Structure formats: C-alpha cells, structure tokens
Amino acid sequence: MGWSLVVVSLIVLWIASLWKVLYSSSSTSFSKTSFLSDDRALSKRNVLLVVAHPDDESMFFSPTINYLISRGHNLYILCFSIGNADGIGNTRKQEFYQACAVLKVPLQQVKVLDHPDLQDGFGKVWDHELVAKIIEEEVSSHGIDMIITFDNYGVSGHCNHRDVHHGVCRLLHNVSKRSVEAWELTSTCILRKYSGPVDIWLSMLLPLRYADGMTHCLLNEHPRKSFHAMAEHSSQWIWFRKLFVSFSSYTYVNTLRKIKEENDVVIH
C-alpha cells in the first residue's frame, strides 16, 4: 500500500510537471527579471550557441533554442566537431543540419567544424586558445553580442564540453571591452538530471533567490520538437538515448547563469 501511494504520487507529480511545461504562459523565463528583458532586448539580439558535438543542441539546449527562436532573436550555432569518434562524422554532420532545421534555426546560421586539432573523443583535450580564437572570428563575422555554452562541468562531464566552456572564458578574458556577454547552461546532480519535467519546480525556484538577473530558468515551450530534433540524429537515436531524452530534465528546462571570469562550477 505504501509503495503504491509513492508510485501514484510520482506519476501525478510527473503529469502535473509536464502539464506546467506544455501549458505554461507565454512568458517562460522564470526569474525576478525575464531573460533578455534589458534595454538591448528591445532590438533583436545576435546570439551564438557554442556546442562540442552534433546532437548537443537537441539533447541539452533545446529549451534555450526554442525560447530564442520564438522571440525572433538571431541565433547562430557553432559546433566544434563533426562527432567522428566512431568514424561516422559526415553522417552526423548531415544529421546536425537536419536537427537544426527542425528547431527552426536558419541553416545559413549553422556551422560545423572539422579541425584536425579539435576532434571528438574522451581524452582529446582541445586547445583553449584555439577555441577562443575561432569563437572570436564568429563573433566578429556576425556581430554577436551574446554567447551561450556549457558550464565548467559540461552537463555530462565530457572533456570537449568543458573545453568549449574554457574557450569562451578565455575569449571573455582576452576581450578588452566586455561588448559580448556569455551565459552557461548549469549542470545539476544526477537526481535532478534524470527527474524529467519534475525538475522544473526547483529550477524555477533557484533564480528567484537572486535579484541581480544573473540566473534564468527557461521552460521548453515545445518539448515535442526536442524529440523530433533528436530523432533526426538517427545514428545516435538508440534505446538509451531515447530514454535519456524522455527522462532528462534538459529536455524540459534550461537554467542559464551569466559567466563571470574565473567562474567555478557548482553542481546543484
């Protein structure tokens, strides 16, 4: 009887959380100030999303992508590798473009690199100065005024995720005038990471603790689109990734924190 009550309670909480995601109000940035609500937001922002591998955008950043696209901001995506660890990089590159199309990101604003010194793989540490230089070129080419990327842990702990974070931090350190702001996707503990839509409640509460606008919670307005986008990565769309997308809190909510120099990782 006791376990039955627990199971029923969890199911009800899951359904209530999913309902909140699907039928939330149009303003889905939860904090004391809405994300991009400052004076510059009166004009559309040029935002660069920096990821390490094809499928990062769908597995981790789809709430942020949907938020930005639905509000008409100019989103560019820079992917630092074709994901060639298993020798199918060209296939994964094409899948990446298809997923971006599902997410309504203009394909002319999507770029995938295949640099010999920036290849996918655990243990393949990327040069942070090289990463920063490439990002700086993209910032200059497209008039970027905001960068979004992984935090120091990189959600999964993958070294390439962490490298792009360090590259962004290096860029911020090198830029004499802070004309570009940068935000990181916060990593969470494993319990929150695999709590699905249930994590939205804690994610919404955390930014409300801060009045400085340094943390924002973005609910995914179109979680079905996230599934469709990830399904375009057909070479990766196997059973455990299907489970991941279903149970990962990153399918339903992103918490973004503004990057400050020498910002250390905090696992919530």
pLDDT digits over 6-36, tens only?
A: 666 666 665 666 666 666 644 455 554 578 7
What backbone torsions phi and psi does residue 78 show, to the nearest 5 degrees?
Answer: -115, 115
Full DSSP string of 127-183: PHHHHHHHHHHHHHHHT--EEEEE-SSTTT--HHHHHHHHHHHHHHHH-SS--SEEE
The more confidently predicted of residues 206 and 61 is 61
Question: Per-residue pLDDT for 189 more than 60?
Answer: yes
Average pLDDT estimate for 76-101 = 96
Structure confidence at residue 37 (pLDDT): 66
Cite the DSSP H helix spans in the chain.
2-22, 56-59, 62-70, 89-102, 128-142, 159-174, 190-193, 200-208, 223-231, 239-247
First-to-final CA distance of the chain: 33
Instruction: Indicate the pTM of the whole model.
Output: 0.89
Closest to 145 measured CA to CA, from 224, 263, 38, 262: 38
CB 48 within 8 A of CB 76: yes
Q: Of 8-22, 63-77, 173-187, 214-228, where does mean pLDDT reach its minimum?
A: 8-22
Question: Per-residue pLDDT for 5 more than 80?
Answer: no
Question: Per-residue pLDDT for 58 more than 90?
Answer: yes
What is the chain's mean pLDDT, rounded? Answer: 86
Question: Per-residue pLDDT for 41 more than 60?
Answer: no
Name beta bridge partners: 268. Answer: none
Quick one: what percent of the chain has pLDDT higher than 90?
Answer: 65
Average pLDDT estimate for 141-154 = 96
CB 66 within 8 A of CB 225: yes
Average pLDDT estimate for 191-218 = 82
